[in-house]
Amino acid sequence: MLKILAPTDDQITAVRNFNRFYTRQIGLLTEGLLKSDFSLTEARVLYELANRDSLTASDLTRELGLDAGYLSRLLKKFETRRLLTRAPSTLDGRQTVLSLTIAGCAAFAPLNRASAEEVATLLGRLSVEDREKAVKAMQTMQRLLGGAEPKEPYSLRPLQVGDIGWITHRQGVLYAQEYGFDGTYEALVAEILSTFVRDFDPEWERAWIAERDGEVVGSVFIVRKSDTVAKLRLLYVDPSARGLGIGRRLVEECIGFARAKGYKTMTLWTNDILLAARHIYQTAGFKLVEEDRHHSFGQDLVGQTWELEL
């Protein structure tokens, strides 16, 4: 069993230093949050009530980690100020649903606006590149320390400037590490992708890029081979994002696009050692139609052609 080492003193000090720095940056040490007469906890409760429906006191106690007695006094204070109303829950008669009044929404609005403006000012001091780094670091910290994963742990988007170089680099590195491919594979990827960009036909061709926490973690390309045949190219998923269904999703996007465009057949070429990719293709309905032995990328390989009738 792998033994997990305790955090070092330096690591603990670094986290505490960051906490002190960040609380000062966002003004948590001032008596009233964002120059208002609300405390941090009061503002957080207002935020939850403004942005979620059917909340109960039990929900707030559990999700914000608040003492039930303290929360009860806070909610009573809101009621006294006419910021809050209660109504019986339709799901559980023992519970009451909390809602902001018009006055409560009006009290929250300047808080929300001031918070957004403060963050915009904080990020506005940074270059676009540093902004992305800062946001990505925050998202990573939230995920690693137990923050809720988004409903979709990744997103798909079209090809953007800069993706071609990154994908070429990552595929070259990954195939060298996992299969021992030499630099000629990276050269092939670069050639395929440069051709895709140079000859791109947006009516009949497409690319999908998978992102997680602001990083490219997968991609796939579909090109026009003929009026009736589409070719799937360069499917890959980064090891850090495997197990999320990204590869299957990328292939499904290709198939859906090809069918919508009226292609009759989709084809692809791969090697038999790419077991995970082959499983995805088989599950999607592709059939192996041809095999050939070849020596490429510094390895003896068995190339395979797969086809899917659309």
Residue carrying the six token digits 């809720």: 148
Tokens of 44: 């957080």
Burial of 310 (0-12, 13-18, 19+ CB in 10 A): middle
Provide CB contacts within 8 A for 172, sequence distance 6+: 181, 183, 185, 186, 189
**pLDDT tens digits along 249-305:** 999 999 999 999 999 999 999 999 999 999 999 999 999 999 999 999 999 999 999
Dihedral (Cα; 293, 297, 300, 306), 10-degree rounding: -40
d(CA 261, CA 237): 25
Nearest-angstrom CA–CA distance, 230 and 209: 18
> Between residues 152 and 60, which one has the greater pLDDT?
60
For tokens 């798909």, what's the residue?
156
Arithmetic mean of pLDDT, 230-259:
92
Kindly state the DSSP code that residue 35 receives in the 8-state scheme.
Answer: G
Would the pTM count as exceeding 0.85?
Answer: no
Residue-level pLDDT at 195: 95
> What is the set of domains in the chain, with CATH numbers?
9-125 (1.10.10.10), 155-309 (3.40.630.30)
Question: What gap in Å lies between CA 132 and CA 124, rounded to an integer?
Answer: 12
**Cα distance between residue 51 and residue 44, in whole Å:** 11
In this structure, is the dihedral angle defined by the CA atoms of residues 170, 173, 174 and 175, taken in order, positive or negative? positive
